[in-house]
Amino acid sequence: MSAKKTTKKTTKKVSRKTAKKRSVKTTRKSTAKKAATKKKKYNKVRALVCAQGEKCFWTTDGTVLENLEQLEMAFGSMDEEVFLHHVTKEKNDFADWVEIVLQDAACAADLRRSRKPSSARTVVRRHLRLYKL
């Protein structure tokens, strides 16, 4: 009798381990599929949009910006006072300009979360990778 009980317990332990392994494999596969899907979305190469004339962005310190490359460089040297003039809780002039004039809604959405010039520069730099330069 005792031999049969031992065998059953061992069998149950093995089946539990097998079940855990199966769930781990399933999770890994679904994670890999999600990652592949995200990469496919960002594989689109875009042409850099340049604003002309009145559609350029003028900062309060007099800098005139025409495209995302210039915006990224401007964030690198921008005083926090200038940044905070254009970005408040109620408005984000940079994000609005990027969305409306430069036609990049994803970059604009990420810029709206930025509260400092350094984090805004990181956002723009990340989005510039998607452009053909």
DSSP string computed for 28-95: HHHHHHHHHHHHHHHT--EEPP---GGGSEE-TTS-EE-SHHHHHHHHHH--HHHHHHHB-SS-BHHH
For residues 55 and 7, which has the higher predicted lDDT (pLDDT)? 55
Per-residue pLDDT of 23-70, as tens digits, reads 555 555 555 555 554 444 555 788 999 999 999 999 999 999 999 999
Average pLDDT, the chain: 81
The Cα–Cα gap between 98 and 74 comes to 14
pLDDT of residue 6: 52
Whole-Å CA distances, 37 to 30, 34, 43, 65: 11, 5, 10, 34
Q: Which amino acid is at 105?
A: A
Token pair of 78 as six digits: 């921008």
